[in-house]
């Protein structure tokens, strides 16, 4: 409740016109609505509630004035209105290759080591990748409940042309 009160006070006293909410609970939109003229944009990036496992769940938007989804797959799970789909995109200029021809290529991921992140799928896909691209390294950084099983799975891929490491991600 302390956090909700602080958020409500901040929204009410801040004179904000828009509250941009990334998923989460209903409280921020409810607080914004009660604080005055603040409009709420609910920005959805997933149709899975991590606390409920990895199965998709219906998304209720309640107090949001506008609902944005990062894909049609996410938008389909919004049950009480139409979500506008805005695909995330960043134009990146072409970069020169950082790996010399024939040198190792690294596939990397950093994040929480939980089933929802699908790191085990990345490990299982490594043989397919290696069948098409020689000399591939797999680097995994993070902590979480899957760390032990990922470390146990590391040995079959740990060779001269492929390695997997599970190291703690920097704390923020």
What span, in angstroms and rounded, lies between the C-alpha atoms of 50 and 115? Answer: 10
pTM exceeds 0.75 for this model? no
C-beta separation of 41 from 63 below 8 A: no
| pLDDT score of 4 | 59
Exposed/middle/buried for residue 95 (C-beta within 10 Å: 0-12, 13-18, 19+): exposed
- Lowest mean pLDDT: which of 5-14, 29-38, 89-98? 5-14
| pLDDT score of 162 | 44
Predicted confidence band at 10 (pLDDT cuts at 50, 70, 90)? low
Does residue 168 register a pLDDT over 70? no
Average pLDDT over residues 104-119: 81
What span, in angstroms and rounded, lies between the C-alpha atoms of 24 and 167? Answer: 29
* Mean pLDDT score of the chain: 74
């Amino acid at each position: 409740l302390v956090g909700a009160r602080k958020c409500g006070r901040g929204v009410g006293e801040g004179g904000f016109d828009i509250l941009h909410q990334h998923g989460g609970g209903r409280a921020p939109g409810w607080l914004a609505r009660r604080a005055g003229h603040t409009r709420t944009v609910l920005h959805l990036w997933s149709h899975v509630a991590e606390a409920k496992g990895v199965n998709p769940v219906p998304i209720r938007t309640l107090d949001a004035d506008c609902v944005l989804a990062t894909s049609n797959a996410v938008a389909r799970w919004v049950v009480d209105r139409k979500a506008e789909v805005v695909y995330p995109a960043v134009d990146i200029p072409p970069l020169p290759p950082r790996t010399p021809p024939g040198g190792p290529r690294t596939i990397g991921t950093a994040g929480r080591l939980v089933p929802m992140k699908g790191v085990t799928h990345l490990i299982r896909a490594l043989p397919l990748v290696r069948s098409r691209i020689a000399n591939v390294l797999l680097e995994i950084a993070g902590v979480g409940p899957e760390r032990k099983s990922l470390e146990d799975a590391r040995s079959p891929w740990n060779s001269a042309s492929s390695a997997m490491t599970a190291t703690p991600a920097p704390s923020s």
